[in-house]
Protein backbone atom coordinates (compact mmCIF):
# COMPACT_ATOMS: atom_id res chain seq x y z
CA UNK A 1 0.00 0.00 0.00
CA UNK A 2 1.35 3.47 -0.92
CA UNK A 3 2.18 5.34 2.30
CA UNK A 4 1.30 8.66 0.64
CA UNK A 5 -2.29 7.52 -0.08
CA UNK A 6 -4.71 8.99 2.49
CA UNK A 7 -6.59 6.59 4.78
CA UNK A 8 -10.31 6.39 3.98
CA UNK A 9 -12.27 4.63 6.73
CA UNK A 10 -15.01 2.19 5.73
CA UNK A 11 -18.63 2.95 6.50
CA UNK A 12 -19.42 2.06 10.11
CA UNK A 13 -15.72 1.71 10.97
CA UNK A 14 -13.53 3.97 13.03
CA UNK A 15 -9.81 4.52 12.42
CA UNK A 16 -7.92 1.92 14.38
CA UNK A 17 -10.74 -0.68 14.34
CA UNK A 18 -9.61 -4.07 13.18
CA UNK A 19 -11.66 -5.75 10.48
CA UNK A 20 -13.88 -8.51 11.79
CA UNK A 21 -12.59 -11.94 10.89
CA UNK A 22 -14.95 -14.63 9.56
CA UNK A 23 -14.68 -16.48 12.88
CA UNK A 24 -15.62 -13.35 14.83
CA UNK A 25 -18.55 -12.74 12.47
CA UNK A 26 -19.84 -16.28 12.97
CA UNK A 27 -19.46 -15.96 16.74
CA UNK A 28 -21.39 -12.69 16.80
CA UNK A 29 -24.19 -14.23 14.73
CA UNK A 30 -24.34 -17.24 17.03
CA UNK A 31 -24.51 -14.87 20.00
CA UNK A 32 -27.42 -13.00 18.38
CA UNK A 33 -29.23 -16.28 17.77
CA UNK A 34 -28.71 -17.34 21.38
CA UNK A 35 -30.11 -14.03 22.60
CA UNK A 36 -33.06 -14.39 20.22
CA UNK A 37 -33.75 -17.93 21.37
CA UNK A 38 -33.53 -16.87 25.02
CA UNK A 39 -35.89 -13.89 24.63
CA UNK A 40 -38.42 -15.33 22.17
CA UNK A 41 -41.69 -16.80 23.41
CA UNK A 42 -41.03 -20.39 22.35
CA UNK A 43 -44.52 -21.57 23.31
CA UNK A 44 -46.07 -18.94 21.04
CA UNK A 45 -43.64 -19.84 18.26
CA UNK A 46 -44.59 -23.52 18.61
CA UNK A 47 -48.32 -22.71 18.38
CA UNK A 48 -47.78 -20.64 15.22
CA UNK A 49 -45.63 -23.31 13.54
CA UNK A 50 -48.20 -25.98 14.47
CA UNK A 51 -50.95 -24.05 12.70
CA UNK A 52 -48.72 -23.64 9.65
CA UNK A 53 -48.06 -27.40 9.60
CA UNK A 54 -51.80 -28.08 9.81
CA UNK A 55 -52.27 -25.60 6.96
CA UNK A 56 -49.84 -27.58 4.80
CA UNK A 57 -51.92 -30.76 5.24
CA UNK A 58 -55.16 -28.83 4.74
CA UNK A 59 -54.04 -27.25 1.46
CA UNK A 60 -52.92 -30.69 0.26
CA UNK A 61 -56.47 -31.90 0.94
CA UNK A 62 -58.14 -28.90 -0.74
CA UNK A 63 -55.81 -28.60 -3.75
CA UNK A 64 -57.55 -31.21 -5.99
CA UNK A 65 -60.95 -29.52 -5.54
CA UNK A 66 -59.68 -26.03 -6.39
CA UNK A 67 -57.51 -27.30 -9.28
CA UNK A 68 -60.52 -29.07 -10.78
CA UNK A 69 -62.80 -26.02 -10.48
CA UNK A 70 -60.22 -23.63 -11.95
CA UNK A 71 -59.16 -25.89 -14.83
CA UNK A 72 -60.42 -24.97 -18.28
CA UNK A 73 -60.78 -26.74 -21.60
CA UNK A 74 -57.41 -25.35 -22.63
CA UNK A 75 -55.51 -25.63 -19.35
CA UNK A 76 -55.78 -28.49 -16.86
CA UNK A 77 -54.18 -27.77 -13.51
CA UNK A 78 -52.40 -30.65 -11.71
CA UNK A 79 -54.26 -31.87 -8.64
CA UNK A 80 -51.49 -30.69 -6.29
CA UNK A 81 -50.92 -27.39 -8.10
CA UNK A 82 -51.96 -25.25 -5.11
CA UNK A 83 -50.17 -27.51 -2.64
CA UNK A 84 -46.81 -27.13 -4.37
CA UNK A 85 -47.32 -23.37 -4.69
CA UNK A 86 -48.32 -23.20 -1.02
CA UNK A 87 -45.06 -24.89 0.01
CA UNK A 88 -43.07 -22.23 -1.83
CA UNK A 89 -45.04 -19.41 -0.23
CA UNK A 90 -44.73 -21.01 3.20
CA UNK A 91 -40.94 -21.14 2.87
CA UNK A 92 -40.93 -17.41 2.10
CA UNK A 93 -43.37 -16.87 4.93
CA UNK A 94 -41.15 -18.71 7.40
CA UNK A 95 -38.17 -16.61 6.37
CA UNK A 96 -40.27 -13.47 6.85
CA UNK A 97 -41.53 -14.69 10.23
CA UNK A 98 -38.07 -15.48 11.61
CA UNK A 99 -36.55 -12.27 10.21
CA UNK A 100 -39.33 -10.14 11.72
CA UNK A 101 -39.12 -11.93 15.09
CA UNK A 102 -35.41 -11.07 15.34
CA UNK A 103 -36.10 -7.34 15.17
CA UNK A 104 -35.61 -5.25 18.26
CA UNK A 105 -38.83 -3.83 19.67
CA UNK A 106 -38.04 -0.30 18.48
CA UNK A 107 -37.23 -1.53 14.98
CA UNK A 108 -40.47 -3.54 14.90
CA UNK A 109 -42.32 -0.34 15.82
CA UNK A 110 -40.57 1.64 13.11
CA UNK A 111 -41.28 -1.05 10.51
CA UNK A 112 -44.97 -1.16 11.48
CA UNK A 113 -45.43 2.60 11.34
CA UNK A 114 -43.65 2.96 7.97
CA UNK A 115 -45.56 0.00 6.52
CA UNK A 116 -48.85 1.50 7.70
CA UNK A 117 -48.10 4.76 5.91
CA UNK A 118 -47.11 2.98 2.70
CA UNK A 119 -50.19 0.72 2.65
CA UNK A 120 -52.59 3.59 3.34
CA UNK A 121 -51.07 5.46 0.38
CA UNK A 122 -51.57 2.35 -1.79
CA UNK A 123 -55.20 2.10 -0.63
CA UNK A 124 -55.75 5.53 -2.18
CA UNK A 125 -54.50 4.08 -5.50
CA UNK A 126 -56.55 0.85 -5.43
CA UNK A 127 -59.78 2.44 -6.78
CA UNK A 128 -57.76 4.05 -9.58
CA UNK A 129 -55.31 1.39 -10.78
CA UNK A 130 -56.48 -1.65 -8.83
CA UNK A 131 -57.51 -4.98 -10.38
CA UNK A 132 -61.14 -6.07 -10.08
CA UNK A 133 -61.86 -9.67 -9.03
CA UNK A 134 -65.37 -11.02 -8.33
CA UNK A 135 -66.88 -7.54 -8.30
CA UNK A 136 -64.38 -6.06 -5.81
CA UNK A 137 -61.37 -3.88 -6.59
CA UNK A 138 -58.92 -4.83 -3.82
CA UNK A 139 -55.75 -5.91 -5.62
CA UNK A 140 -52.94 -3.78 -6.95
CA UNK A 141 -50.15 -4.93 -9.24
CA UNK A 142 -46.64 -3.59 -8.61
CA UNK A 143 -44.72 -6.42 -10.24
CA UNK A 144 -46.73 -8.78 -8.01
CA UNK A 145 -50.47 -8.73 -7.38
CA UNK A 146 -51.35 -8.22 -3.69
CA UNK A 147 -53.94 -6.64 -1.42
CA UNK A 148 -52.59 -3.59 0.45
CA UNK A 149 -55.18 -4.25 3.16
CA UNK A 150 -53.48 -7.57 4.01
CA UNK A 151 -50.15 -5.89 4.78
CA UNK A 152 -51.93 -3.02 6.51
CA UNK A 153 -53.41 -5.40 9.13
CA UNK A 154 -50.26 -5.90 11.24
CA UNK A 155 -49.07 -2.37 10.54
CA UNK A 156 -52.42 -0.90 11.62
CA UNK A 157 -52.22 -2.54 15.06
CA UNK A 158 -48.67 -1.33 15.61
CA UNK A 159 -49.44 2.16 14.29
CA UNK A 160 -52.44 2.63 16.58
CA UNK A 161 -50.45 1.32 19.56
CA UNK A 162 -47.73 3.86 18.77
CA UNK A 163 -50.29 6.70 18.63
CA UNK A 164 -51.88 5.73 21.94
CA UNK A 165 -48.46 5.47 23.59
CA UNK A 166 -48.06 9.22 22.99
CA UNK A 167 -50.11 9.72 26.15
CA UNK A 168 -47.02 8.93 28.20
CA UNK A 169 -45.21 11.95 26.74
CA UNK A 170 -48.13 14.37 26.89
CA UNK A 171 -51.43 13.34 28.55
CA UNK A 172 -53.16 16.30 26.88
CA UNK A 173 -52.62 15.01 23.35
CA UNK A 174 -55.96 14.04 21.70
CA UNK A 175 -54.71 10.52 20.93
CA UNK A 176 -58.21 9.05 20.96
CA UNK A 177 -59.40 11.40 18.23
CA UNK A 178 -56.23 10.90 16.17
CA UNK A 179 -56.57 7.11 16.36
CA UNK A 180 -60.28 7.37 15.54
CA UNK A 181 -59.50 9.57 12.55
CA UNK A 182 -57.01 6.98 11.25
CA UNK A 183 -59.66 4.27 11.72
CA UNK A 184 -62.31 6.26 9.82
CA UNK A 185 -59.87 6.96 6.98
CA UNK A 186 -58.98 3.27 6.63
CA UNK A 187 -62.66 2.27 6.84
CA UNK A 188 -63.59 4.73 4.09
CA UNK A 189 -60.80 3.48 1.81
CA UNK A 190 -61.78 -0.15 2.40
CA UNK A 191 -65.49 0.44 1.74
CA UNK A 192 -64.62 2.06 -1.60
CA UNK A 193 -63.38 -1.37 -2.80
CA UNK A 194 -65.82 -2.56 -1.17
CA UNK A 195 -64.30 -4.65 1.64
CA UNK A 196 -66.78 -4.88 4.50
CA UNK A 197 -65.11 -7.90 6.12
CA UNK A 198 -61.73 -6.24 6.61
CA UNK A 199 -63.48 -3.06 7.77
CA UNK A 200 -65.07 -5.05 10.60
CA UNK A 201 -61.68 -6.59 11.47
CA UNK A 202 -59.88 -3.23 11.56
CA UNK A 203 -62.70 -1.77 13.67
CA UNK A 204 -62.35 -4.68 16.09
CA UNK A 205 -58.62 -4.03 16.53
CA UNK A 206 -59.30 -0.33 17.05
CA UNK A 207 -62.02 -1.10 19.64
CA UNK A 208 -59.78 -3.47 21.63
CA UNK A 209 -56.99 -0.88 21.82
CA UNK A 210 -59.54 1.79 22.71
CA UNK A 211 -60.79 -0.37 25.59
CA UNK A 212 -57.28 -1.11 26.87
CA UNK A 213 -56.41 2.57 26.80
CA UNK A 214 -58.70 3.18 29.78
CA UNK A 215 -61.70 4.82 28.14
CA UNK A 216 -64.80 5.24 30.32
CA UNK A 217 -67.80 2.91 30.12
CA UNK A 218 -69.98 5.76 28.86
CA UNK A 219 -67.69 6.35 25.88
CA UNK A 220 -67.52 2.62 25.15
CA UNK A 221 -71.32 2.59 25.03
CA UNK A 222 -71.27 5.54 22.64
CA UNK A 223 -68.74 3.76 20.42
CA UNK A 224 -70.89 0.62 20.31
CA UNK A 225 -73.96 2.68 19.40
CA UNK A 226 -72.01 4.41 16.63
CA UNK A 227 -70.80 1.02 15.35
CA UNK A 228 -74.36 -0.32 15.16
CA UNK A 229 -75.43 2.81 13.29
CA UNK A 230 -72.51 2.40 10.86
CA UNK A 231 -73.43 -1.23 10.12
CA UNK A 232 -77.03 -0.17 9.52
CA UNK A 233 -75.87 2.55 7.11
CA UNK A 234 -73.64 0.08 5.26
CA UNK A 235 -76.59 -2.31 4.93
CA UNK A 236 -78.65 0.34 3.13
CA UNK A 237 -75.83 1.93 1.11
CA UNK A 238 -73.88 -1.12 -0.17
CA UNK A 239 -75.71 -3.68 -2.26
CA UNK A 240 -73.05 -6.36 -1.84
CA UNK A 241 -73.22 -6.22 1.96
CA UNK A 242 -77.02 -6.13 1.92
CA UNK A 243 -77.29 -9.18 -0.34
CA UNK A 244 -74.92 -11.22 1.82
CA UNK A 245 -76.68 -10.24 5.05
CA UNK A 246 -80.11 -10.99 3.54
CA UNK A 247 -78.87 -14.36 2.30
CA UNK A 248 -77.48 -15.14 5.74
CA UNK A 249 -80.67 -14.32 7.65
CA UNK A 250 -82.87 -15.79 4.94
CA UNK A 251 -81.24 -19.20 5.33
CA UNK A 252 -79.88 -19.36 1.78
CA UNK A 253 -80.26 -22.29 -0.58
CA UNK A 254 -78.39 -25.50 -1.22
CA UNK A 255 -76.39 -23.66 -3.89
CA UNK A 256 -75.12 -20.84 -1.65
CA UNK A 257 -71.42 -21.10 -0.85
CA UNK A 258 -72.04 -20.63 2.89
CA UNK A 259 -74.55 -23.48 2.89
CA UNK A 260 -72.17 -25.64 0.85
CA UNK A 261 -69.41 -24.86 3.32
CA UNK A 262 -71.47 -25.98 6.29
CA UNK A 263 -72.59 -29.18 4.55
CA UNK A 264 -68.99 -29.97 3.63
CA UNK A 265 -67.80 -29.26 7.17
CA UNK A 266 -70.28 -31.70 8.70
CA UNK A 267 -69.94 -34.40 6.03
CA UNK A 268 -66.90 -36.05 7.65
CA UNK A 269 -68.37 -36.53 11.10
CA UNK A 270 -66.03 -36.60 14.11
CA UNK A 271 -63.08 -38.37 12.51
CA UNK A 272 -63.37 -37.37 8.82
CA UNK A 273 -63.48 -39.33 5.60
CA UNK A 274 -59.69 -39.41 5.18
CA UNK A 275 -57.16 -37.47 3.09
CA UNK A 276 -58.33 -37.03 -0.54
CA UNK A 277 -61.47 -39.09 0.13
CA UNK A 278 -63.86 -36.16 0.55
CA UNK A 279 -66.52 -35.69 -2.13
CA UNK A 280 -68.44 -32.56 -1.14
CA UNK A 281 -65.31 -30.42 -1.30
CA UNK A 282 -65.28 -30.87 -5.10
CA UNK A 283 -68.33 -28.56 -5.34
CA UNK A 284 -67.01 -26.03 -2.84
CA UNK A 285 -65.80 -22.65 -4.20
CA UNK A 286 -62.49 -21.32 -2.82
CA UNK A 287 -61.84 -24.64 -1.07
CA UNK A 288 -58.15 -23.83 -0.60
CA UNK A 289 -58.69 -20.33 0.83
CA UNK A 290 -61.98 -19.08 2.30
CA UNK A 291 -63.51 -22.52 2.94
CA UNK A 292 -60.48 -24.57 3.89
CA UNK A 293 -61.95 -25.06 7.38
CA UNK A 294 -64.85 -26.94 5.78
CA UNK A 295 -62.41 -29.16 3.87
CA UNK A 296 -60.62 -29.93 7.14
CA UNK A 297 -63.96 -30.91 8.67
CA UNK A 298 -64.82 -33.30 5.84
CA UNK A 299 -61.44 -35.02 5.49
CA UNK A 300 -59.98 -34.79 9.00
CA UNK A 301 -63.15 -34.55 11.09
CA UNK A 302 -64.72 -32.22 13.62
CA UNK A 303 -62.10 -33.20 16.20
CA UNK A 304 -59.40 -31.67 13.98
CA UNK A 305 -61.55 -28.52 13.65
CA UNK A 306 -61.85 -28.32 17.43
CA UNK A 307 -58.06 -28.63 17.77
CA UNK A 308 -57.59 -25.70 15.36
CA UNK A 309 -60.01 -23.55 17.38
CA UNK A 310 -58.12 -24.47 20.57
CA UNK A 311 -54.81 -23.50 18.95
CA UNK A 312 -56.12 -20.03 18.04
CA UNK A 313 -57.49 -19.60 21.56
CA UNK A 314 -54.13 -20.73 22.95
CA UNK A 315 -52.33 -18.06 20.93
CA UNK A 316 -54.59 -15.34 22.33
CA UNK A 317 -54.30 -16.63 25.90
CA UNK A 318 -50.52 -17.01 25.58
CA UNK A 319 -50.15 -13.40 24.44
CA UNK A 320 -52.31 -12.18 27.34
CA UNK A 321 -50.23 -14.21 29.81
CA UNK A 322 -47.09 -12.68 28.31
CA UNK A 323 -48.52 -9.19 28.81
CA UNK A 324 -49.78 -9.58 32.38
CA UNK A 325 -46.60 -8.13 33.93
CA UNK A 326 -45.46 -6.12 30.88
CA UNK A 327 -44.29 -2.61 31.77
CA UNK A 328 -44.22 -0.99 28.33
CA UNK A 329 -47.52 0.54 27.21
CA UNK A 330 -46.69 0.30 23.51
CA UNK A 331 -45.89 -3.40 23.91
CA UNK A 332 -49.19 -4.09 25.68
CA UNK A 333 -51.25 -2.33 23.03
CA UNK A 334 -49.31 -3.56 19.98
CA UNK A 335 -49.28 -7.21 21.06
CA UNK A 336 -52.97 -7.09 22.01
CA UNK A 337 -53.78 -5.52 18.63
CA UNK A 338 -51.81 -8.12 16.66
CA UNK A 339 -53.39 -10.98 18.64
CA UNK A 340 -56.83 -9.47 17.97
CA UNK A 341 -56.07 -9.18 14.26
CA UNK A 342 -54.95 -12.82 13.91
CA UNK A 343 -57.57 -14.27 16.25
CA UNK A 344 -60.38 -12.07 14.91
CA UNK A 345 -59.73 -13.03 11.30
CA UNK A 346 -59.58 -16.71 12.27
CA UNK A 347 -62.90 -16.67 14.09
CA UNK A 348 -64.68 -14.69 11.38
CA UNK A 349 -63.56 -17.31 8.86
CA UNK A 350 -64.63 -20.18 11.15
CA UNK A 351 -68.03 -18.60 11.84
CA UNK A 352 -68.62 -18.20 8.09
CA UNK A 353 -67.83 -21.89 7.56
CA UNK A 354 -70.26 -22.75 10.38
CA UNK A 355 -72.95 -20.59 8.71
CA UNK A 356 -72.99 -18.35 11.79
CA UNK A 357 -71.74 -15.25 9.96
CA UNK A 358 -72.33 -13.82 6.46
CA UNK A 359 -69.72 -14.71 3.84
CA UNK A 360 -66.81 -12.27 4.02
CA UNK A 361 -64.14 -13.61 1.63
CA UNK A 362 -61.61 -13.84 4.47
CA UNK A 363 -58.92 -16.52 4.70
CA UNK A 364 -57.99 -18.61 7.74
CA UNK A 365 -54.65 -17.11 8.92
CA UNK A 366 -51.62 -19.44 8.96
CA UNK A 367 -53.75 -22.24 7.47
CA UNK A 368 -55.31 -21.13 4.16
CA UNK A 369 -53.44 -21.06 0.87
CA UNK A 370 -52.19 -17.66 -0.06
CA UNK A 371 -49.48 -15.84 -1.94
CA UNK A 372 -48.83 -12.37 -0.59
CA UNK A 373 -51.45 -12.98 2.14
CA UNK A 374 -49.28 -15.78 3.54
CA UNK A 375 -46.32 -13.37 3.69
CA UNK A 376 -48.52 -10.75 5.40
CA UNK A 377 -49.81 -13.17 8.05
CA UNK A 378 -46.30 -14.48 8.73
CA UNK A 379 -45.10 -10.88 9.04
CA UNK A 380 -47.83 -10.25 11.62
CA UNK A 381 -46.82 -13.37 13.56
CA UNK A 382 -43.13 -12.40 13.39
CA UNK A 383 -43.85 -8.88 14.64
CA UNK A 384 -45.94 -10.34 17.46
CA UNK A 385 -43.00 -12.53 18.47
CA UNK A 386 -40.61 -9.57 18.24
CA UNK A 387 -42.79 -7.29 20.35
CA UNK A 388 -43.35 -9.90 23.06
CA UNK A 389 -39.65 -10.72 23.42
CA UNK A 390 -38.48 -10.35 27.01
CA UNK A 391 -35.84 -7.63 27.31
CA UNK A 392 -33.96 -7.72 30.64
CA UNK A 393 -33.43 -3.93 30.44
CA UNK A 394 -37.07 -2.82 30.13
CA UNK A 395 -37.80 0.84 30.86
CA UNK A 396 -40.70 1.15 33.26
CA UNK A 397 -43.52 3.15 31.69
CA UNK A 398 -46.72 1.60 33.04
CA UNK A 399 -47.40 -0.77 35.92
CA UNK A 400 -48.32 -3.67 33.61
CA UNK A 401 -51.52 -4.93 32.02
CA UNK A 402 -52.83 -6.36 35.29
CA UNK A 403 -52.39 -3.07 37.15
CA UNK A 404 -53.51 -1.06 34.10
CA UNK A 405 -56.87 -2.87 34.02
CA UNK A 406 -57.16 -2.63 37.81
CA UNK A 407 -56.55 1.13 37.76
CA UNK A 408 -59.06 1.53 34.94
CA UNK A 409 -61.75 -0.30 36.91
CA UNK A 410 -60.90 1.67 40.06
CA UNK A 411 -61.13 4.93 38.14
CA UNK A 412 -64.53 4.02 36.74
CA UNK A 413 -65.76 3.03 40.20
CA UNK A 414 -64.38 6.27 41.63
CA UNK A 415 -66.14 8.39 39.02
CA UNK A 416 -69.38 6.51 39.65
CA UNK A 417 -69.04 7.05 43.43
CA UNK A 418 -68.32 10.75 42.92
CA UNK A 419 -71.41 11.15 40.75
CA UNK A 420 -73.50 9.35 43.39
CA UNK A 421 -72.17 11.58 46.15
CA UNK A 422 -72.98 14.71 44.15
CA UNK A 423 -76.50 13.41 43.62
CA UNK A 424 -76.93 12.80 47.38
CA UNK A 425 -75.77 16.32 48.21
CA UNK A 426 -78.14 17.73 45.65
Q: What is the DSSP string of 270-306?
A: TT-S-TT--SGGGG-TTTTTTTHHHHHHHHH-HHHHH
pLDDT per position as a tens digit, 398-425:
455 555 555 545 554 554 455 455 445 5
Distance CA 59, CA 64 (A): 9
Sheet containing 145-146: give its strands across. 131-133, 136-141, 145-146
Pick 335 or 372 by higher pLDDT: 335
- Average pLDDT, stretch 200-225? 79
> What is the per-residue pLDDT for 91?
94
Sign of CA dihedral 318, 319, 322, 323: negative
What integer best gives the mean pLDDT of the chain?
Answer: 80
Give percent of the chain above pLDDT 70: 77
Q: Is the pLDDT of residue 196 over 50?
A: yes
DSSP per-residue letters across 194-262 = T-HHHHHHHHHHHHHHHHHTT--HHHHHHHHHHHHHHHHHHHHH-HHHHHHHHHHHH---TTSHHHHHH
Could you count the other beta carbons within 10 Å of the beta carbon of residue 392?
6
- Average pLDDT, stretch 138-147? 80
Please check whether residue 41 is in contact with residue 389, taking contact to mean a CB–CB distance below 8 angstroms.
yes
Distance CA 368, CA 2 (A): 62
Distance CA 344, CA 339 (A): 8
Please check whether residue 174 is in contact with residue 343, taking contact to mean a CB–CB distance below 8 angstroms.
no
> What is the per-residue pLDDT for 135?
65
Q: What is the DSSP secondary structure assignment for residue 141, as one 8-state letter? A: E
Q: Is the pLDDT of residue 229 over 70?
A: yes
Q: Is the pLDDT of residue 256 over 70?
A: no
Q: Is the pLDDT of residue 306 over 60?
A: yes
> What is the per-residue pLDDT for 283?
83
Is 174 exposed, middle or buried (CB count within 10 Å of its CB: 0-12, 13-18, 19+)?
Answer: exposed
Cis upstream peptide for 369 (omega within 30°): no
Q: Is the pLDDT of residue 265 over 50?
A: yes
Q: Is the pLDDT of residue 253 over 50?
A: no
Confidence of residue 114 (pLDDT cuts 50, 70, 90): very high
- Average pLDDT, stretch 146-158? 91
Please check whether residue 92 is in contact with residue 144, taking contact to mean a CB–CB distance below 8 angstroms.
no
In sequence order, the β-bridge partners of residue 146 are 140
> What is the per-residue pLDDT for 25?
61
| pTM metric for this prediction | 0.81
Could you count the other beta carbons within 10 Å of the beta carbon of residue 98?
15
Distance CA 335, CA 315 (A): 11
Q: Is the pLDDT of residue 37 over 70?
A: yes
Q: Is the pLDDT of residue 334 over 60?
A: yes
- Average pLDDT, stretch 183-205? 88
- Average pLDDT, stretch 336-354? 91
Distance CA 375, CA 361 (A): 18
Q: Is the pLDDT of residue 147 over 80?
A: yes
Spatial CA neighbour of 329 closest among 168, 220, 183:
168
Confidence of residue 156 (pLDDT cuts 50, 70, 90): very high
> What is the per-residue pLDDT for 101?
93
> What is the per-residue pLDDT for 370?
82
Spatial CA neighbour of 356 closest among 348, 364, 368:
348
Please check whether residue 295 is in contact with residue 287, taking contact to mean a CB–CB distance below 8 angstroms.
yes
Spatial CA neighbour of 123 closest among 184, 189, 183, 180:
189
> What is the per-residue pLDDT for 419?
47
> What is the per-residue pLDDT for 90?
93
> What is the per-residue pLDDT for 417?
54
> What is the per-residue pLDDT for 19?
57
Q: Is the pLDDT of residue 322 over 80?
A: yes
Is 196 exposed, middle or buried (CB count within 10 Å of its CB: 0-12, 13-18, 19+)?
Answer: buried
Number of helices (H) and strands (E), helices first, in the chain? 15, 3
> What is the per-residue pLDDT for 134?
66
In sequence order, the β-bridge partners of residue 340 are none
Runs of H (alpha helix) within 40-147: 42-70, 81-101, 105-129
Amino acid sequence: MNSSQPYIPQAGKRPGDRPQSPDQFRKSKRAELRIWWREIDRVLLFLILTLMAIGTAAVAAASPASASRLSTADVTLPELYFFSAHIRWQILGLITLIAASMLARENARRLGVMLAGMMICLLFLVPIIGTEVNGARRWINLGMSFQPSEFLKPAFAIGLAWIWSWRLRDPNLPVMWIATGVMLLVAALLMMQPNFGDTILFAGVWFVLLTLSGISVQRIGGVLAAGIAAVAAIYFLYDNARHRIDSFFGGGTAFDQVDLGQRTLLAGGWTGSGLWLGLRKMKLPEAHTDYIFSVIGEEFGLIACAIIVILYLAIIVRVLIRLVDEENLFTVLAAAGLATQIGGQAFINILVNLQLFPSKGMTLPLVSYGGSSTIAVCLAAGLLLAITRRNPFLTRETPGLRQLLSDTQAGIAGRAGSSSAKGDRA
